[in-house]
A = this chain, B = another copy of it.
Amino acid sequence: MYAAILAGGVGTRLWPRSRQTLPKQFSDITGSGRTMIQATVDRIAGFVSPEQIYILTGARYRALAAEQLPALPEANILVEPSGRSTAPAIGLACIHLRRRDPDAVIAILHADHVFRDEAHYCAILQQAEVAAQAGYLTVLGAQPDTPHTGYGYIKRAGDALPISGAWPVFRAERFLEKPDLATAQAFLAEGSYYWNVGNFISRVDVLLAEFERQRPALYAGLLQIEAALGTDHAEAVLQEVWPTLENISIDHGVMEGAAKVAVVPLDAGWNDVGSWDALDMVLAAGEDGNCITQGTVIQTGCSGNIVSGGDRLIALVGVDNLVVVDTGDALLIGHKDKMQQVKEIVDALRLQQREDLL
């Protein structure tokens, strides 16, 4: 199996640790000692070698990716000439892979997700590989435990497919956009809905065939880029064609309309770490009931706080359910329930032209 890791975004809701110059995937958000993209590569190391891993990112992050992932061949860092949605990026990975190994199975992963139970995640990813070999565009579906309105959902259909392996695989009946609360509650009660984790596993030939059938113009562009690979004008063609590629997500552009889609349920404590308050869902709190990812904290009468500290001592006195992030040049203190509003801070800094902090 090969992996293509999507690493092009800038997570402003994890400001101030996530910056334009150092997006969250290149930062150690969880305090593991590894950046999120390093953790993503480490997680699958047991069955995907560095040579088989591709990174998709922007030009300004190529050097960061190379530096943080020295075991990867530099040629495996694929640069998107400009930020577009996921379908063009994944198409780019697919044509590179088809040239190298026409029988390849590709797992499309995100550089900034966390799985509490990594062993289970790996088992499910390998189960998905079996389904992909059987010709399915395969997605991982996380077992929902709350009626989350911030995720897309996938509905499974019928009984488990006759696919070998220890874990059940179902036909995916529908992809559903982020629902309202009542709809999400109904999904949860119904029992056959999963969160769309955004991990896609497929044979490269099957996935490209779906591009060709559903997005012929995009596919034609990919073919132009593919034809130039390995030649002197590969980069020039990429630069020329890329801006013309349809700017559409893989979910909307390919998965929703695909002929043969499977879902493998996953119960591995998945989290996309969309904002700081997610951290205590993926990390265990310490003895004192606070979740300290980094830094030195001394506290009295505090609980439920999330701290991502830096060099300086952080003293907490009688406070609960706060997020505290100290990056040396900026300090964020917010209530856990209000962390979506970090975006407002970033917007205000942009208005103030504080490029040094963005």
Contacts and interface: CB of A to CB of B under 8 A. Distances in A.
Q: Say how many copies of this protein the assembly contains.
A: 2
Nearest to A318: B338
Given A313-B329, A329-B313, A354-B313, A318 B298 contact: no
Contacts of A322: 319, 333
A45 to B, nearest CB: 37
A348 B315 CA distance: 10
A331 B335 contact: no
Given A317-B339, A318-B337, A326-B331, 17 more contacts: A298-B349, A300-B345, A300-B348, A312-B328, A312-B331, A314-B330, A314-B333, A315-B332, A315-B333, A315-B345, A317-B335, A317-B341, A317-B345, A319-B335, A319-B338, A322-B333, A333-B333
Contacts of A334: 315-319
A313 B357 contact: yes
Contacts of A316: 333-334
Interface residues of A, number: 36
A277 to B, nearest CB: 11
A324 interface: yes
B315 A331 contact: yes
A162 interface: no
Contact of A300 (B331, B344, B352): B344
A342 interface: yes
Counting chain B CB atoms within 10 Å of each CB, which of A319, A349, A357 scores highest?
A319
A322 to B, nearest CB: 7
Contacts of A300: 341, 344-345, 348
Nearest to A317: B334
A348 B298 contact: yes
A12 to B, nearest CB: 12
A352 B298 CA distance: 11
A345 B298 contact: yes
A22 B332 CA distance: 27
Contacts of A345: 298, 300, 315, 317
B354 A331 contact: no
Nearest to A332: B315
Nearest to A354: B313
A354 to B, nearest CB: 7
Nearest to A316: B333
A122 to B, nearest CB: 36
Interface in A287-340: 298, 300-301, 312-319, 322-324, 326, 328-335, 337-339
A16 interface: yes
B338 A16 contact: no
